[in-house]
Structure 1
């Protein structure tokens, strides 16, 4: 890696730590501020899928053998003068979709920052989860069903064992997609991307601007592969690639019978493409 990359990562890490500290989530010092937590049970009442959205806070989603949804809600603020009652948990319904979201109605203090709300959600095993979003916070989703769109601006995205097509996006943070049914895309601006690609349905991008990218591709995937970096190395191994061209920073070729394009790339970092076991 170049010195320029190292400096970028240090700056990105500092920005992330600052945001986490403002939110009252930094582990560098004991927490000082306000914190409340509670658990709610939400009935499905005919809902056929779930979406979760929070502006500031982590979201974790798991499944269990149950017929309703359990939501553990943690609200906190780094300022002892902040009013965390101005941050509310909302449940909304639109057609057959159930939406969980946070709503802040107060004023953001200059030094205290804005209160955060983290959600730990347990859903029935058969309930599809359509989207999970946070502006600042980590997303961690495991063992759910349905085509899933997971997106955060600042934070990591970790998605595991989803019975559906997964699209995972971050601006500053790492992205990990492990054992989805299919991959619809995985991107970040600053961070590493590590994905399994057992199948794709359309043109698919696996991309970081600053960070390493590693993709394990199913041996029966039919696609046109393009693996590229501007500053770093590219390696493709364990896959049968026809009509290929190979240089240190670019590998192209056809997987299986060809089809949609599978772009795996970074501007600054290494790209590694291997066979999915």
Structure 2
């Protein structure tokens, strides 16, 4: 029992009385509206002119599966080159050399400021500007033969990714305490060795989680390479529906494969973020 002598004057003893639960009518209404809208969407697809048997028929078609392999291969290779370029450009941006800083800033400004699809088209049609590519006197080749859809897609995606990755890596390097630089200098380390042995390993704790996000985004971004005839999954689906006119069905096939790949990689990204955030950030409760 509560000691009434300890209660503030003018207040009743509420001990033992039932607590009324608040009814969140707004939440229930919002949930109901969402369920209705979702039901209408499912109904529209179910009753629409969609041949679901065609979706099942082409879901594992050889051309679609080859497109998935090409998509993943391009995403991995372009992301790797983008990370390498990003590290180089980030170091240049943090350099005391004004020429390196200007070149790095100009590269970032150019590739972040223009649409990726435009960059892909420019690389694919670079033969209109440079008919031959190579080193004069040593080796030269026709640009139209060298700049295949694969090469153009790889250049466009990796150079664009490098511009974005450089900012992520630069932010990671800046996040490392300045005392780490001073400590490395005190024991006689050069700036580059300190960067490689001390600064970058610590910066990875900040850099790697967003890079995982960038990789998932890269998988979907490879679909833009279909405009230059690179045979990724969307381009493969387009080739099929140009032949059988089953546009929606083949787009659904491509969409399902993107969802499967991204859904498989998302838990890996979450594990990566959890691993590298230990000791540096509080976990969400």
TM-score (norm 1): 0.22
Structure whose alpha-carbon radius of gyration is higher: 2
Q: Which has the higher helix share?
A: 2
Q: Which has the higher strand share?
A: 1
TM-score (norm 2): 0.22
Higher RCO (CA 8 Å, separation ≥ 6 residues): 2
